[in-house]
């Protein structure tokens, strides 16, 4: 099978093109360094099936950061039949250097001038034929986002898929790239011959928006204000949706499932309805909130605001040994910690990477958000609930700063901070829907893997040994809870919550599912009972503990594989457990001492 | 001789020399920092934060430490 690789500088639209050509759903975002790993898909080209590979972006083939190593490693270990070089037409005057480097390596290549829509708007005109002649490579102008020129580019690729090139070793890459200064002159010459750029080249809209959003003293307040508004939006729209789904699931249970399963043996009925249905159902009710959350996240990621956030926050982050990019990774961690951890591959110094990876698990991911929405709805009024959840976000920042401050001495770095600031862009409806769907799929995937397993385990532990009252102290769950009570009692967490926390170790989604199973109820009845058994001080202490104590199993596994160090992973885990306990202890005991 | 960190917002200059070790030099080069090129300082973040510079159609933010490695000559 023929192999085609997409290669180009960061943020030039490689993944967008990959998705368009293959129908796959690689993650896209207006931030240099979204893709940090290989992704491949099969496409039909010129009547044959070929493998299309999306690569992380790279600035040049000298490659020093971990994501750039991925590309070098790929080129060194795979034969490639065609390299599709993707570049941003508006920045052709500097990005052409990569195309010249690829050509110097003798790789069969095709040059795609992407984002022709933006280039056209800013008055750049490129003579494609002249450029192709000068370069000695086929060239096409496309817009991966809107699809213009893509079918033609594919045809062009089909025609140049003939000759194969063997893998190219790292040392070969280094030796062939020596004459860099010459490339620079060539680049200038080619650009002069084939590109016409207006003298004043600025995106007026971006410029105007930036004047407000990057204002010296309005910038940061605007950032936090916008964060609060987005959160309010998710909460106000999402919470009723969640209640609606919960209500519907309750109805299905009482009117359809109960009669259907009435004849089953009691234990099986219990396992199916009280265990799996209640557990998974309680979690599934959060799907609308999660989808909404990621729709908002997609728009923020694709707007280009992330680079602005890095600009605004860098000075503060520098005080705790991190940089603006670390901050953006933390923001991405609000969605899911796993891709955020992988995103640190763009950092070159190990100290900076490790310190950033140390704080990412403390960022309040969407799975933890479910727990907080659930708990705050039970323990607080509708006016208070969003404030309580938002204060968890603030708490997340506080623990991140604290952690970085404590560990910065151990994980030092002199990492330079240089970052591209792309123009503002807006995702198309299709891009937004695709991302929403991706998250639903991700959720269903996790649900089938962890959540069902988790709730079945919890059900078994709260119902066995047989003969004792369900969820009582005599059950296995009760015994485990009692065992941990000496350390959890001082922070106001009872045996039932303890079981939920233990399973929350696997995945935070299980926590709400586990609570439904432990209390043996679902929907409104569950909320009423919990409100009776817990007071708000206990609830908040539980939330704080859930926020900090440990990321999920996938996050831990990712930390381990990205850091390539077991010791580091254990340190990070131990630290977060300790911090969680101390924070909850301080909160719980002071609240009680104040008489709440 | 001035360096980039001494430029005021709104001012522009030409890049005269880049003092950086090899990997940083390559990175800066690929981002468009080349000798002789015109560079404009658009703004600086508060609290001594990074500067926002413009090189042709590329906008870049970088810390003052990195900016001070880039020598410039006023246009
Ligand atoms: N206007 C316009 N925007 C585009 C086009 N192609 C991609 N984009 C946008 O450019 C941004 C970057 O796209 P990606 O596909 O994530 O770029 P990438 O090259 O994969 O980036 P990395 O994985 O970070 O290297 C996104 O906001 C896209 O929506 C295009 O043809 N026109
Ligand atoms: Mg990509």
Residue of chain B whose Cα is closest to the Cα of A217: B46
Query: A153 C-alpha to center of ligand 1: Å?
Result: 17
**Cα radius of gyration rounded to whole Å, chain A:** 27
B26 part of contact set with chain A, CB < 8 Å: yes
A219 part of contact set with chain B, CB < 8 Å: yes
Between A59, A90, A316, which is nearest B57 by CB?
A: A90
Residue of chain B whose Cα is closest to the Cα of A94: B32
Interface test with B, best of A179, A180, A416, A420 (most B CBs within 10 A): A416
Beta bridge partners of A195: A126
- Residue A344 per-residue DSSP state: G
In A, residues 475-504, which contact B (CB 8 Å cutoff)?
none
How many of the other CB atoms lie within 10 Å of CB of A538?
Answer: 20
A410 part of contact set with chain B, CB < 8 Å: no
Testing ligand 1's pocket by substitution, the residue of A11, A37, A89 carrying the most ligand atoms inside 8 A of its CB is A11
Q: What is the number of domains present in chain B?
A: 1
B50 part of contact set with chain A, CB < 8 Å: yes
Sign of CA dihedral A232, A238, A239, A240: positive
Q: Give the β-pairing of B2-3 and B70-74.
A: antiparallel
Chain A to chain B, count of Cβ pairs less than 8 Å apart? 109
Question: Residues for chain B: how many in total?
Answer: 75
* H or E stretch at A52: strand A48-54
Residue B13 CA neighbour count, 13 Å, CB half = 23
CA atoms of A335 and A339, how far apart (whole Å): 9
The pTM score is: 0.92
Residue ranges making up the domain that contains B44: 2-74
What chain A holds in terms of domains, given with CATH numbers, is 2-203 (3.40.50.300), 214-364+393-414+433-447 (no CATH), 450-593 (no CATH)
CA atoms of A508 and A553, how far apart (whole Å): 9
Question: The CATH number of the domain where B13 resides is what?
Answer: 2.30.30.90
Helices (H), A148-269: 150-159, 170-176, 180-194, 204-213, 219-252, 258-261, 266-269
Of all protein residues, whose CA lies closest to atom 13 belonging to ligand 1? Answer: A13
Enumerate residues 6+ apart whose C-beta is below 8 A from A145: A13, A16, A115, A117, A428, A431
Of all protein residues, whose CA lies closest to atom 11 belonging to ligand 1? Answer: A30
Tens-level pLDDT at each residue, chain A (596 residues):
889 999 999 999 999 999 999 998 899 999 999 999 999 999 998 888 999 999 999 998 876 678 888 888 898 888 888 999 999 999 999 999 999 988 888 888 999 999 999 999 988 999 999 999 999 999 999 999 999 999 999 999 998 886 555 666 666 666 666 656 678 888 888 988 889 888 766 678 898 999 999 998 899 999 999 999 999 999 889 888 888 998 898 899 889 998 888 888 888 888 888 888 888 888 888 888 888 998 998 899 999 999 999 999 999 999 999 999 999 999 999 999 999 999 999 998 899 999 999 999 999 999 999 999 999 988 998 889 999 999 999 999 999 999 999 999 888 888 899 999 999 999 999 888 888 888 788 878 887 778 888 888 888 888 888 777 777 778 888 888 888 889 999 999 988 889 889 888 888 888 988 888 888 887 788 888 888 888 999 999 999 999 999 888 999 999 999 999 999 999 999 999 999 999 999 999 999 999 88
Contacts of A423 in chain B (CB under 8 A): 59
- Output the CA torsion A315→A320→A322→A328 (10° steps): -70
CA atoms of A44 and A495, how far apart (whole Å): 57
Q: How close does chain B come to A298, measured CA to CA in Å?
A: 22
A184 part of contact set with chain B, CB < 8 Å: yes
């Amino acid at each position: 099978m023929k192999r085609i690789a997409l290669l180009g500088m960061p943020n030039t639209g490689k993944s967008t093109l990959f998705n368009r050509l293959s129908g796959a759903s690689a993650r896209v975002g207006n931030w240099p360094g979204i893709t940090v790993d290989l992704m491949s898909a099969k496409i039909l080209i010129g009547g044959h099936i070929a493998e299309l590979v999306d690569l992380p972006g790279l600035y040049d083939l000298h490659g020093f950061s971990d994501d750039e190593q991925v590309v070098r490693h790929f080129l060194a270990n795979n034969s490639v039949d065609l390299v599709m070089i993707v570049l941003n037409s508006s920045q052709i005057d500097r990005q052409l250097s990569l195309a010249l480097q690829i050509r110097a390596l003798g790789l069969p290549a095709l040059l795609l001038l992407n984002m022709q829509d933006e280039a056209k708007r800013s008055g750049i005109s490129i003579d494609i034929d002249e450029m192709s002649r000068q370069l000695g490579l086929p060239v096409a102008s496309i817009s991966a986002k809107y699809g213009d020129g893509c079918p033609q580019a594919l045809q062009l690729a089909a025609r140049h898929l003939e000759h194969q090139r063997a893998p190219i070793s790292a040392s070969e890459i280094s030796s062939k790239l020596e004459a860099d200064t010459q490339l620079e002159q060539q680049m200038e010459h080619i650009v002069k011959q084939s590109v016409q750029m207006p003298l004043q080249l600025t995106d007026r809209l971006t410029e105007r928006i930036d004047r407000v959003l990057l204002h010296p003293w309005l910038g940061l307040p605007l950032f936090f204000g916008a964060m609060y508004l987005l959160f309010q939006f998710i909460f106000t729209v999402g919470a009723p949706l969640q209640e609606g789904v919960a209500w519907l699931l309750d109805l299905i249970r009482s009117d359809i499932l109960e009669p259907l399963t009435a004849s089953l043996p009691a234990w099986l009925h219990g396992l199916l309805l009280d265990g799996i249905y209640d557990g998974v159902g309680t979690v599934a009710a959060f799907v609308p909130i999660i989808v909404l959350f990621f729709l908002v996240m997609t728009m923020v990621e694709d707007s280009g605001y992330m680079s602005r956030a890095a600009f605004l926050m860098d000075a503060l982050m520098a005080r705790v040994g991190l940089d603006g990019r670390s901050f953006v990774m933390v923001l991405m961690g609000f969605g899911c910690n796993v891709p955020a951890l992988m995103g640190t591959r763009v950092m070159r110094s190990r100290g900076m990477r490790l310190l950033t990876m140390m704080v990412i698990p403390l960022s309040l991911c969407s799975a933890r958000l479910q727990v907080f929405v659930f708990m705050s709805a039970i323990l607080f009024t509708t006016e208070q609930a969003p404030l309580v959840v938002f204060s968890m976000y603030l708490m997340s920042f506080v623990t991140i700063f604290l952690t970085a401050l404590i560990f910065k001495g151990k994980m030092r770095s002199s990492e330079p901070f240089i970052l591209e600031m792309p123009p503002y862009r807006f995702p198309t409806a299709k891009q937004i829907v695709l991302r929403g769907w991706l998250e639903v799929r991700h959720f269903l995937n996790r649900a089938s893997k962890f959540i069902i397993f988790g709730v079945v385990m919890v059900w078994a532990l709260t119902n066995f040994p047989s003969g004792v009252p369900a969820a009582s102290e005599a059950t296995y769950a009760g015994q485990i809870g009692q065992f941990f009570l000496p350390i959890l009692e001082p922070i106001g967490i009872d045996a039932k919550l303890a079981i939920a926390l233990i399973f929350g170790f696997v995945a935070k989604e299980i926590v709400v599912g586990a609570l439904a199973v432990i209390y043996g109820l679902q929907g409104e009845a569950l909320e009423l009972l919990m409100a009776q058994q817990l007071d708000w001080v206990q609830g908040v202490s539980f939330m704080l503990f859930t926020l900090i104590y440990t990321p999920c199993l996938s996050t831990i596994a990712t930390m381990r594989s990205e850091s390539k160090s077991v010791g580091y992973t254990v340190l990070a885990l131990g630290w977060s457990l300790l911090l969680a306990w101390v924070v909850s202890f301080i909160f719980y005991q002071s609240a009680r001492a104040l008489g709440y | 001789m001035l360096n980039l960190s001494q430029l005021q917002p709104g001012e522009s200059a030409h890049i005269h020399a880049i003092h950086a070790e090899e990997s940083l030099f390559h990175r800066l080069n690929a981002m468009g920092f080349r000798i002789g090129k015109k560079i404009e300082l658009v703004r600086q973040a508060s609290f001594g934060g990074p500067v926002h510079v413009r090189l042709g159609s590329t906008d870049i933010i970088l810390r003052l430490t990195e900016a001070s490695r880039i020598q410039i000559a006023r246009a």
